[in-house]
Amino acid sequence: MGEAKMYEDELERTAKLMDVPIDEIRDDIPENAVNQVFENVTGDYTGSHNVYPIPEFLLESQQKYITKLEEDIQNLKNEIRALKERLEKKN
């Protein structure tokens, strides 16, 4: 049989109805999950609620890119500092 996802508000109501702690009925959501909630701005809360796990290789790739950008920023700061020093020596 298939599985149905229950979201936090549904879990809270179910736990209260069953008179059990919510942790007893909650499945763990992976740390690398993206939680998206779309609600209608008219106050009609029948929007969708989606949780998508992000593949580990994407997180690793993103972290490598962030590290490279941080290095680039530091190199640019060093270059700016060196150019300012050269400019001050000329004046």
Domain span including residue 64? 55-91
Per-residue pLDDT at 47: 54
Asked if residue 88 has pLDDT above 90, the reply is yes
In this structure, the answer to whether residues 89 and 49 fall within a common structural domain is: no
pLDDT one-digit tens code per residue, 59-83: 899 999 999 999 999 999 999 999 9
CA dist., res. 78 & res. 91, Å (int): 20
For the record, the structure tokens of 43 come out as 């106050």
Q: What is the CA radius of gyration of the chain?
A: 25
In this structure, the answer to whether residues 44 and 59 fall within a common structural domain is: no
Q: Confidence class of residue 1 from pLDDT cuts 50, 70 and 90?
A: very low
Give the global pTM: 0.44
* Total number of domains in the chain: 2
